[in-house]
Amino acid sequence: MAAGKQCDSKQQWEVIKKSFFIEGNLSDISDGEDDLALVIRLVQQLGAGQLVLDLALDAIWVALRQSIVPKFWSNFVIYNSQRCGKDDDPGEGSVEVMSRVATAISELYDSAVSFLPQIHRCEMLCEHSGAKFEECIPGGMMEHFKLHLRATLHSQMPTSFTNLLHKFYSAAFKVFYHAEVGNQVEESDETTDEAMQCGGCDAATDACHCQAITNTFCQVNRQLLELDLLERLAGDIISSLLLSVITDHVSATCRDSYDQSRISQLEKWVENVVIGWLEVVYCGGRGQLSSADSAIQTMVANNLNQTYMTALYHTYTTTRIDQLFNIVIEYPESQPALEDIRECLDRTHLRNHLVESLRSAIQTRLLHPGVNTTDVLHAYISAIKALRVLDPKGVLLELVSEPVRQYLRGREDTVRYIVTSLTDESCSELSEELLVAAPLVLDDSHSDDDNMDFWETWTPDPRTADIISMLVNIYGSKDVFITEYRTILADRILSQFSYDTEREIRYLEHLKCEVMVKDVADSKRINSSINSDENPRREKQKFPVSCMILSAQFWPSFKEERLQLPEEVMKELDTYTEAFQDLKGNRTLNWKPHLGQVQVEIELKNRTLNLTVTPTQATVIYHFQERSRWSIGDLSTITQENFPCPCQGVLQEVESDVFVLVEGEELGDKGHTATVGVSQPDIAPPAIEEDEAESVMASAQDQREEELQVFWSYIVGMLTNLDSLPLERIHAMLKMFVQGSVECSPQELRAFLDRKVRQHQLIFTNGLYKLPKN
């Protein structure tokens, strides 16, 4: 009985073993529901449910680990070893890769499917015998199986697999992309592209594998999806593939063209191509979306869509930021690109990146000695305009432009250039900006700062991005700028005498020099009143006198020159002064004799010259009426002028510093004639070119020099008492003695002292300044 029982139990065990394939061969799985029901009852009787289940599952895991997964991976390992050593081999064509992957995966799929009855049995067993498998895993036995499959696959994955799968997916994507794009531009592309080879699979058109590839691809995806392996094995590859595709596409789209808005076009592209392809991958094709799992649908629709759109914005913005310097330089044309960036900046977190990148681009491309000040300024202006588009609040501009401002401050010719271009009509960019710009308004927004009711919605005040203010602000204050501007304006007014102030008025309203302009307008009125016919003095007048009457306090200081005008002229000027005094009680005029414009007619023996000359020139030629030969020294005594300028081609230098009047036409024969305009004297009054360019105003630098001159006597005193001193000591002592009167930086003082050294008024040795010994 015992033996029989033993035999019986052995038999029973064999049956169970066979039924659940414990230690069994997977190939001979038999399927019999009746049989299964019996066996389960048997197991129940024996009370060995848990044991049997454990054994059965273990058998499956072992099979997975030892045969199925290694076999699957061996497909790829072989591939790897074959390829070894020939890296530059183009490798298998897309078709071979496709078929290899497809075979491997369908093999895997088949073997996995062959386990299904087994899994089913185990489930039945659980149900009837109350046996339990690991409880922590949600889902049924099937999930449990898939989990093991994934884990086992992962534990043995060869490195080459990723490459291969990447190839697989990119080939598939290429086919898809070709079809997708081909659909859109079919007519235009047909002739060129189709003729040679298929754009999808790189094979000759007549042997196109596109359809085959698509079919294989769909099959593989479906199988992977069913095994829950798609995301696990290919998810990363798919997303990295798509990201690189997006990057390529974006940079191809954005290359060197800033004049179109691209963002909506790109959004559409992502929607069509990227999302479209994802639908193919995850749902087996566009049309079948409805039939696919609803969870996957939602995932594709929301999650992925958002992910790839974000990626698109990020890529696009990064690309544009890299190009930002060029975009800025080409500003008015690049407006659409800037608007794109502005839109994207709100959706990405690239503000800081933008600032950093633009700053460094400016640093390397703009702020070096090889670039003209003009160009730096143009770039600066473009940047102001462009960044205004990007960020109306001006915060970006503030951040980016600071280094440029700092740099421009260091260039000597900046002020002069800005001012010239502001006033020069030919350089329209800035002058137009001046005309359209609203006058510099003081920001009165602080008045409602006290209003705390809306503190939650408070935003920082917009920074001023008015171009003129930005330019002026390069120097931190208007002073330097206005000084220079006044100098230039004075030159312009005093060299043109046109009394046409319309343009200047507009500039000046912005720059607060309106007094100068008003002087011009007033002068015009006073002149016409004094020179009107009703004025009794007019009859006695030998020639009309007009005057530019200036308000000294509001003009830059004039170079002091004491030109002694001819008696006749002085009388006329005095008459004018009297007329002025009558007109404006209690006021009188101080003439600047060397400034002005004189129309003279010079009658020579055989010709008459009509010239417009400076007062100095007029005076000189006037004196040649009395004597036809003057030496420079004599002339200087009479005119009080240090360097009379012999010119007009009527004077000739016969010996050094001695001039004679040339009456006849026989110029050029003896000696060298002095200047211009002789050959065609009657055509037009040739303007005197000489010295015209020299500014009549003391330039800002000259004025500064004069201010520094105040220090000189102190310095001489110091050095007399203390013999020799270093720069720092001199500076410190000056600060103590001359407190408050003139500010002076050590650098400026050094420049001043160095000039003195060059003029031999100082000696500089061993870092010490001292006076030369007489």
**566-585 mask for other proteins (x: CB under 8 A)?**
--xx--xx--xx--x---x-
Among residues 26, 181, 299, 600, the one that binds other proteins under rule CB under 8 A: 600
Nearer Cβ to other proteins, position 161 or 576? 576
Cβ 605 to other proteins shortest distance, Å: 8
Alpha-carbon gap, residue 185 to 20, rounded angstroms: 59
Work out the number of other CB atoms within 10 angstroms of the CB of residue 553: 6
Asked if 254 touches other proteins (CB under 8 A), the answer is no
The piece of 323-331, 383-391, 550-558, 720-728 that touches other proteins (CB under 8 A) is: 550-558
Strand 651-655 with 724-726, pairing: unpaired
Which pair of structure tokens corresponds to residue 682? 């009657």
Amino acid at 90: P
Please give the backbone phi and psi of residue 424, each rounded to the nearest 5 degrees, phi first.
Answer: -75, 125
From 587, 672, 760, 773, residue interacting with other proteins (rule: CB under 8 A): 587
Phi, psi of 609, rounded to the nearest 5 degrees: -110, 135
SS3 assignment, position 612: strand
CA distance 41 to 36: 9
107 part of the interface to other proteins, by CB under 8 A: no
Phi-psi map region of 763: left, alpha, beta (phi>0 left; psi -120 to 50 alpha): beta
Is 542 among the residues that bind other proteins (CB under 8 A)? yes
Q: How many residues does the chain have?
A: 774
Closer of 14 and 663 to other proteins (Cβ): 663
Q: Please list, residue by residue across 263-295, b when 16 or more beta carbons sit within 10 angstroms of its beta carbon and e when fewer do.
A: beebeebbeebbbbbbbbbbbbbeeebeebeee
Residue carrying structure tokens 């044991």: 51
Q: Rule CB under 8 A: is residue 661 a binding residue for other proteins?
A: yes
Question: Do the beta carbons of residue 234 and residue 224 sit within 8 Å?
Answer: yes
13 binds other proteins (CB under 8 A): no
Quote the least distance from Cβ 537 to other proteins, whole Å: 15
Measured from the CB atom, the residue of 451 and 590 that comes closer to other proteins is: 590
Q: Which CB sits closer to other proteins, 440 or 763?
A: 440
Give the separation between CA 407 and CA 450, rounded to whole angstroms. Answer: 38
The reply on whether position 168 binds other proteins by CB under 8 A is no
Please pick, from the candidates 426, 457, 588, 765, the single residue that binds other proteins as defined by CB under 8 A.
588
Sites for other proteins among residues 442-461 (CB under 8 A): none
From the list 396, 598, 635, 678, which residue makes contact with other proteins (rule: CB under 8 A)? 598
Based on the shown chain and the rule CB under 8 A, indicate whether residue 591 belongs to the binding site for other proteins: yes
Measured distance CA(740)–CA(69) in Å, rounded: 90
Report in angstroms how near the CB of residue 254 gets to other proteins at its nearest.
Answer: 52
Instruction: Please report whether residue 603 would count as binding other proteins according to CB under 8 A.
Output: yes
Options 63, 165, 547, 708; binder of other proteins; rule CB under 8 A: 547
Q: Which of residues 605-634 bind other proteins (CB under 8 A)?
A: 605, 610, 615, 618, 621-622, 624-625, 628
Give me the amino acid identity at 392: P
Q: How far is the CB of 624 from other proteins (least distance, A)?
A: 7
Considering only 190, 432, 663, 689, the residue that binds other proteins (CB under 8 A) is 663
> x/- contact string, 256-275, with other proteins (CB under 8 A)?
--------------------
Taking the chain, what is the end-to-end CA distance rounded to the nearest angstrom? 144
- Touching other proteins, residues 499-538 (CB under 8 A): 514-515, 518, 522
Residue 552 binds other proteins, judged by CB under 8 A: yes
Q: Where are the alpha helices (DSSP H) in 199-350?
A: 210-226, 235-254, 263-269, 276-283, 294-298, 305-322, 324-329, 331-347
Provide the minimum distance between the beta carbon of 525 and other proteins in the complex, in angstroms, as a whole number.
10
Strands in 629-631's sheet, in edge-to-edge order, are: 629-631, 658-661, 651-655
Contacts of residue 384, Cβ cutoff 8 Å, sequence gap at least 6? 397, 401, 465, 467, 470
Which positions lie near other proteins, rule CB under 8 A? 494, 497, 514-515, 518, 522, 542-555, 568-569, 572-573, 576-577, 580, 584, 586-593, 595-605, 610, 615, 618, 621-622, 624-625, 628, 650, 661, 663
